[in-house]
């Protein structure tokens, strides 16, 4: 028998035999030798599991992430037993879910009720001597409420796909979901409790987004929402933060019935570290999202089966009758518009980016003005795309993610958003191929308001943490379809306040049914639906901070030139980008300026890369009379819109109010 000498140093010795195997090949025999393991035996010890459930339990490594918050401890090394720790962890959530008709909250259990192995080991706040199955589940005091706490995206994917109809994984790994009958916000169903605390602080009446309700009605809706959540087999709880500035961050708790909502808020709020979660304690604000359950439309102040209610004194929000996830995002933004100014911090509906030298720019603009496009710049860092705070520490993003429109999304035009739609991202109400799961972003079968929610880390040039120094430039964007505003104007502080309060852009034919010619649209502070106090208060704070930190205001028209919509031309994006670059670099500050009539805007005479003739609208209109008539028409619309703000006085001597009015159109 001939040995294969090349195997002498191995763990096996191969020998040829005289017998032949199939197809005439010689058989190979192996002889194990306890020598050095060049060839490894990877068979391993057989598992002890006898069932597939037991085998699955071996897959799961114990996570370092706590499953529930801890109250009253001094961190991870507090002298407390594991059993007591678990009880304290759950009592905070139990208190959040307490009904007003019972002294305590529900009997909270952690883990998914569908998992038998977890259910058998579940930790209760209180052990019971009765069999809960003997009682009807309608009395939520006699059943356990299962809490799925701060689940990971992978866990939430599993929950959504198993239990929520319309949940699928797209070709790029995103979670496709449906928001039900409501595919957008319901501003007419938003209510704010008017009480002793808010009566004199909030903006009420004509022009205000705040529709009042009394506390009794709020508590009726809260009870309805909490009882619905307690009646479910399980609810999802997120404990997270708002505001990247650690000195002024807010702790929020979101209790919801859908995995989709939990993943959405996981992306949109700031995600705590395991250590921060251990110290989370009691939240500063709580959302009860019972959107699958309607409000009673016969309840006082209700006008439909949908109600989104804010109680700023109780620091609570209740959602009934709508599953649109954006209600939670914007509801918390409204809360920040109330809480931050009380701390002398300005809350802003804006995009924000920062240059490599640390110069920060804020971008304000309504839909269609180019806010997202212009604030996304690969040569600059993205601090945030939508919600910010400006404090004595500088600027900070409120959120931990982005909520981008998806309609007609393309890789060429918006590569960052396109590439961010991957595992962990929620895409709402989109349409996809049932076989390949490729998304058709041009399809509007469900809604035109298709959206994607993803963590801000998914943007390559995002600045983490999302904070920056004090802004150097404040850029107000307007898509002027009347064609009379210059492509760029340098604003005085008073003009910045006037145009900030006005929040102007224009709709054009085709954007909405029935629009035949340009229609002016005004939204105070470029986000009237979310502000809580009078717009002049935010404007005064903006002026104060700009003056203190030397920021310059700019009005940039991304709309039409040489005529109104239909006769003129849209200002080229390449020219607008050159203008924005000149603002960032500071070269525009040193340009020569002339002043326009009616609006009194200072316009530069020259910008590198931009044709000088388009900088002054009077040069581009061939019909000078038509230009003057259109200019006066738009000025009149500004004046009419501003009438609602005239009765609000700023400052003891009212001097600031007069300065703002003088900064508007004059004719």
Residues marked active site are found at 185, 330, 349, 367, 371-372, 386, 451
Question: Dihedrals φ, ψ of 68, to 5°?
Answer: -150, 160
Q: Provide the β-strand partners of residue 93.
A: none
Task: Identify the sign of the CA torsion 528, 531, 537, 543.
Answer: negative
Beta-carbon contacts of residue 458 (< 8 Å; ≥ 6 apart): 402, 419, 420, 422, 424, 425
Peptide bond into 410 cis (omega under 30): no
| Crossing angle of the two packed helices 624-642 and 493-502, in degrees rounded to 10 | 80
Strands 519-522 and 504-507: antiparallel
Beta-carbon contacts of residue 104 (< 8 Å; ≥ 6 apart): 94, 95, 98
Q: Are 443 and 431 in contact (CB under 8 A)?
A: yes
Whole-angstrom Cα Rg for the chain = 30
How far apart (Å, rounded) are the C-alpha atoms in residues 396 and 362?
11
Beta-carbon contacts of residue 343 (< 8 Å; ≥ 6 apart): 248, 391
How far apart (Å, rounded) are the C-alpha atoms in residues 234 and 231?
8
| Crossing angle of the two packed helices 655-662 and 493-502, in degrees rounded to 10 | 80
Q: Are 383 and 468 in contact (CB under 8 A)?
A: yes
DSSP 108: E
Q: Are 491 and 660 in contact (CB under 8 A)?
A: no
* Lookup: tokens for 280: 């989370």
* Lookup: tokens for 514: 């029935």
How far apart (Å, rounded) are the C-alpha atoms in residues 431 and 445?
7
Cα dihedral 94, 98, 104, 105, rounded to 10, equals: -40
Q: Are 389 and 399 in contact (CB under 8 A)?
A: no
User: If 0-12 CB within 10 Å is exposed, 13-18 middle and 19+ buried, where does residue 501 land?
Assistant: buried
How far apart (Å, rounded) are the C-alpha atoms in residues 592 and 426?
48
User: If 0-12 CB within 10 Å is exposed, 13-18 middle and 19+ buried, where does residue 590 land?
Assistant: exposed
How far apart (Å, rounded) are the C-alpha atoms in residues 665 and 597?
9
Give the chain's count of helices (H) and strands (E). 16, 34
DSSP 610: B
* Lookup: tokens for 53: 């459930």
* Lookup: tokens for 172: 């790029």
* Lookup: tokens for 554: 């700019």
Q: Are 365 and 411 in contact (CB under 8 A)?
A: no
How far apart (Å, rounded) are the C-alpha atoms in residues 315 and 252?
10
């Amino acid at each position: 028998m001939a040995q294969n000498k090349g195997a002498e140093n191995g763990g096996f010795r191969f020998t040829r035999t005289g017998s032949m195997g199939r197809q005439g090949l010689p058989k190979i025999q192996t002889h194990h030798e306890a020598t050095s393991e060049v060839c490894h035996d990877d068979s391993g010890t057989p598992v002890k599991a006898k069932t597939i459930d037991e085998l699955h339990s071996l897959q799961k490594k114990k996570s370092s992430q706590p499953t529930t918050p801890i109250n009253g401890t001094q961190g991870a090394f507090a002298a407390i037993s594991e059993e007591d720790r678990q009880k304290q962890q759950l009592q905070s959530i139990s208190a959040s879910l307490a009904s007003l008709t019972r002294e305590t909250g529900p009997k909270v259990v952690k883990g998914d009720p569908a998992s038998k192995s977890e259910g058998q080991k579940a930790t209760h706040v209180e052990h019971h001597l009765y069999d809960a199955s003997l009682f009807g589940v309608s009395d939520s005091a006699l059943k356990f409420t299962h809490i799925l706490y701060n689940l990971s995206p992978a866990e939430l994917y599993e929950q959504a796909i198993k239990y929520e109809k319309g949940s699928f994984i797209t070709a790029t790994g995103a979670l496709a979901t449906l928001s039900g009958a409501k595919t957008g916000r319901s501003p007419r169903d938003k209510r704010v409790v008017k009480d002793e605390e808010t009566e004199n602080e909030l903006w009420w009446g004509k022009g205000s987004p705040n529709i009042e309700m009394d506390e009794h009605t709020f508590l009726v809706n809260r009870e309805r929402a909490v009882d619905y959540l307690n009646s479910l087999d399980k609810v999802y709880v997120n404990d997270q933060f708002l505001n990247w500035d650690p000195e002024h961050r807010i702790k929020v708790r979101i209790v919801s019935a859908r995995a989709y909502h939990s993943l959405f808020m996981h992306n949109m709020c700031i995600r705590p570290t395991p250590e921060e979660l251990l110290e989370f304690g009691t939240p500063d604000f709580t959302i009860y999202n019972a959107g699958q359950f309607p409000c009673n439309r016969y309840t006082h102040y209700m006008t439909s089966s949908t109600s989104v209610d804010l109680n700023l004194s109780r620091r609570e929000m209740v959602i009934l009758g709508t599953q649109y996830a954006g209600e939670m995002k914007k509801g918390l933004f409204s809360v920040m518009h109330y809480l931050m100014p009380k701390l002398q911090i300005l809350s802003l509906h804006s995009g924000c980016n920062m240059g490599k030298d640390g110069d920060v720019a804020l971008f304000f603009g309504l839909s269609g003005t180019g806010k997202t496009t212009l604030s996304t710049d690969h040569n600059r860092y993205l601090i945030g795309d939508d919600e910010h705070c400006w404090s004595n520490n500088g600027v900070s993003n409120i959120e931990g993610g982005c909520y981008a429109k998806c309609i007609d999304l393309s890789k060429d035009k918006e590569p960052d958003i396109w590439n961010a739609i991957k595992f962990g991202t929620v895409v709402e109400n989109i349409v996809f191929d049932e076989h390949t799961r490729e998304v058709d972003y041009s399809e509007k079968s469900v809604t035109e308001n298709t959206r994607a929610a993803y963590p801000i880390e998914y943007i390559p040039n995002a600045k983490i943490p999302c904070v920056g120094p004090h802004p150097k430039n404040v850029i107000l964007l307007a898509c002027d379809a009347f064609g009379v505003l210059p492509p760029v104007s340098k604003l005085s502080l008073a003009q910045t306040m006037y145009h900030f309060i006005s929040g102007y852009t224009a709709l054009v034919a085709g954007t909405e049914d029935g629009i035949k010619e340009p229609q002016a649209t005004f939204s105070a502070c470029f986000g009237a639906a979310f502000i809580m106090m009078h717009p002049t208060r935010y404007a005064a704070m903006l002026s104060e901070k700009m003056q203190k930190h030397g920021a310059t205001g700019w009005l940039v028209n991304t709309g039409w030139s040489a005529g109104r919509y239909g006769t003129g031309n849209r200002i080229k994006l390449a020219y607008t980008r050159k203008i924005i670059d000149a603002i960032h670099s500071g070269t525009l500050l040193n340009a020569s300026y002339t002043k326009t009539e009616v609006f009194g805007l200072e316009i530069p005479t020259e910008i590198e890369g931009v044709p000088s003739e388009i900088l002054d609208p009077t040069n581009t209109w061939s019909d000078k009379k038509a230009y003057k008539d259109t200019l006066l028409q738009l000025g009149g619309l500004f004046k009419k819109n501003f009438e609602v703000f005239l009765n609000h006085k700023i400052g003891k001597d009212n001097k600031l109010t007069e300065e703002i009015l003088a900064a508007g159109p004059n004719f």
